[in-house]
Structure 1
């Protein structure tokens, strides 16, 4: 049986400490804040990030450098036979394409997975990869499985403010002004390739109900009425843990028999575009 290392990035929400316990490796995502470079989970905490965000700092996201990726791979290949590398969705960052290009020089040893996920759904992919390693699958088989099932997940997000969507160019100033005046709360979705708008709500209560309605539609229609034990529900948030824990209770009441697994902070790469106070509800279909 081959010895396989599982690598992901900090967009999965997996901290460096959690990675050690899980036996995996996490590449920290880099940020440029007011001209200085920071690395998520290394010299940039969630609290520090939101403090800078609220202070209207100039924040730009980046991707792990080729050097940092190759350095980690070389170190791991001295100990492991193969590497399964699970970056964030190729539709949300160029990091997947960069890793795939670098892996061309490591044929049959490094397998880069493009399974179209981020945050808690990306974390679920990492868990599945570990299960497949335990089951004796090799790197190629694990990549094929994760890519085949990559779209079997959704994240629905409601934001507390339109400020950052406007700042990032995802809303025109006029639309943002109208939305702010009417106190509209957009509900966004990530289903693979990008962050899209899917609904608008007037209150946070209504926004949460819309997210749960979409999850129900996924269960009943998109996933063919799948049973409770065959899906994972997770919650994510941006600097909003108290409300996220309350939302967990609401979700479990709305879906009797279903349990919410993780209540994690959303990746900072998403957070910088939507601001703090956001809530997200995710669903991941689990295969047999």
Structure 2
């Protein structure tokens, strides 16, 4: 192998490992931790990470091709809007996760027809919906049917009829994250590589590295959730609440910083620095 070919291979491998590093960005980790908090299997967690990485790579490749091949210039307001969407998405993920926990004070006003001593109150699950309320384990002693939980109603909605529904959500989240970070990645590549084909190849390997990196991250993050879901449901509930609060707070900070701070999206003269 010639020295020139060796340099090209080394540079492309660098793109792969930088993609893995890119997967560890704080907003990526917060988003995927929120999504994986309801997952109970290691294999499912890995697929969630892969779905996120594929969505992220699709957007980066699409935006990157537009910039590299066609010389498209992203206006500051549009670039900031893409980053602003990440803040909204993180806040929404946090709200949805908190809603799925059901709340510690989820109460039903008694269970009729059951002796008071038979009714107790502890955390319990319906599928992946974790909540608590006074209930018994005899016939008619629970207070509501399994299909009347929020997630059961959601699963019966039109979204549940979409194939691979469980992986559609992380895929869409990855798409949004790709929009926010693609410009910075492409501008970094163009500062080093001038040849369009080589730049696109680097971008593709960067995306593959992101997929692998996010799969590894989800495997690590899912471990406490999968373990506590079966063995320590109360701790699992607290972890899910914490992930929801962190996601919402992180999203709110991004929304303010990108949208309303000085030079933000909604100011008269937005200042955008791709990152």
Query: TM-score, length-normalised on structure 1?
Result: 0.24
Q: Whose relative contact order is higher, 1 or 2, with alpha carbons under 8 Å and at least 6 apart?
A: 2
Q: Which has the higher strand share?
A: 1
Q: Which has the higher helix share?
A: 2
